[in-house]
Amino acid sequence: MFYVFCSCNIGEGGIALAEAVHGSAPDIAGKNLANPTALLLSGVTMLRHLDLHDKAEQIQKAILNTIAEGKYRTADLGGSSKTTEFTKAIIDHL
């Protein structure tokens, strides 16, 4: 099981690295099974760091709305959607 956590490391001068906390999941690579939420939330974190709060909020709401709707969820979230289906649903919520 993977989790949907991200982190942001900010160094001197404001240089930042935002990333998903979990590993790279080589066992499911290329199988269209990965949950992209942590990666997308990493992007949201970076947008907030860059003071692009409105863009970050739009993406975060699209992610949360997709999950709450329940129609498209990857296996780790109790669904059967493929990565591409889940991602398209998020995009459709933007």
| 40 Cβ contact list (under 8 Å, min separation 6) | 59, 63, 90
Q: Quote the number of domains for the chain.
A: 1
Range of the domain at 50: 33-94
Assigned domain for 21 exists:
no
Assigned domain for 59 exists:
yes
Assigned domain for 91 exists:
yes
**What string of pLDDT tens digits covers the 94 residues of the chain?**
445 777 888 899 889 988 887 777 889 999 999 999 999 999 999 999 999 999 999 999 999 999 999 999 999 999 999 999 999 999 999 9
Assigned domain for 81 exists:
yes
**For tokens 């290329």, what's the residue?**
30
What is the pTM assigned to this prediction? Answer: 0.86
Helix boundaries (H) for the chain: 37-49, 53-69, 83-92
Assigned domain for 16 exists:
no
Distances, alpha carbon 25 to alpha carbons 3, 8, 74, 86, in Å: 12, 20, 14, 17
At residue 3, the pLDDT reads 57
Assigned domain for 19 exists:
no
Assigned domain for 39 exists:
yes
Assigned domain for 22 exists:
no
